[in-house]
Amino acid sequence: VQAMLLAAGLGTRLAPLTDLRPKPIVPVANRPLAAFAMQHLAQHGVRAIVANTHPQAEIVETTLKAACPDGVGLRFSRERELLGTGGGLHRARPSFDDTQSPVIVMNADTLFAPDLRSAYAAHVGSGAVATMILRKTNDPARFGAIGIDRDGWVRRLLGTPSNSDVREELMFSGVHILSPEAFEAMPEAGCVIRTAYRTWVDSGAPVLGIVDDSPWADLGTVSEYHRLNLELASGSFRWPGVEPRGGCILPAGIEPSQPIRECVIGEGVTLDEGVTLERCVVWSGTRVTESATNAVLTPEHRVVLA
């Protein structure tokens, strides 16, 4: 089983954090963000991953290689100019060893643990050109509503066509499975939804929608980034291998204590005497000279959240 990891985005909404590190390697619970997706893919039988890269490509590639699970081959498709999700898939296609098998596509910037084995089996068994993993939401229009009929086929995309036979509207999780022939519809640049999927849905090509309500988190903004780190630290958002201690995620040698409460602290962090931290995310190598609450602290930034 093979996968494409979309890791080339600019992450502008996560600035100023992405001024220091591109979004795929921003630390979450003290591991690179994209490592969560790679781990989940590996656990579901993926043995070959191609990741596209763009900003600071060398440091992203080096970091992802180090974080890649054992037994998984990792290759890169470096984009000189940002090509979009469709263009990224088009460019990466020759990097796969097996161009005659389906490809699981996953975003590098979300924490989502769908049942990929059953989705893959359903995709292959249905003969779909593409299978979208969808999620329930109270406001599907906000996320670009995807409408499925009673048999699970996608009949409406981004609200159109309006007269189609739709049983339920959902949001796209960012995870999908593409058949080999799907790549014929990929643009050289542009969004996969507004190009390939638009063509398929409008022409009646078989696009399957599978609803999966596994835990999902998107790290679009600094506020969401801060909240997810603290949810991982508290255990309210669980992920294999993330083991909080006393409501914190801490490097070896540091214990949860009165000066540190509900925090994620990286390696090599120095706290000046008298400093207290509450509900903070502190990146590796940061020296903290003043107490902080509800903040993200990096070697160069102090972002305080309301």
For residue range 200-254, what is the model confidence (pLDDT) as tens digits? 999 999 999 999 999 899 888 999 999 999 999 999 999 999 999 999 999 987 8
- 4-13 exposure pattern, b = at least 16 Cβ within 10 A, e = fewer: bbbbbbebee
Long-range residue pairs from 124-128, CB within 8 A, at least 24 positions apart, any chain: 126/206, 126/208, 127/206, 128/179, 128/206, 128/207, 128/208
How distant, in Å, are the alpha carbons of 9, 177, 245, 260, 277 from that of 249?
27, 34, 6, 10, 13
Look at residue 164 in the predicted model and tell me its pLDDT. Answer: 75
The two structure tokens encoding residue 218: 């998107």
The residue ranges of the chain whose pLDDT is under 50 are none
pLDDT at 76: 98
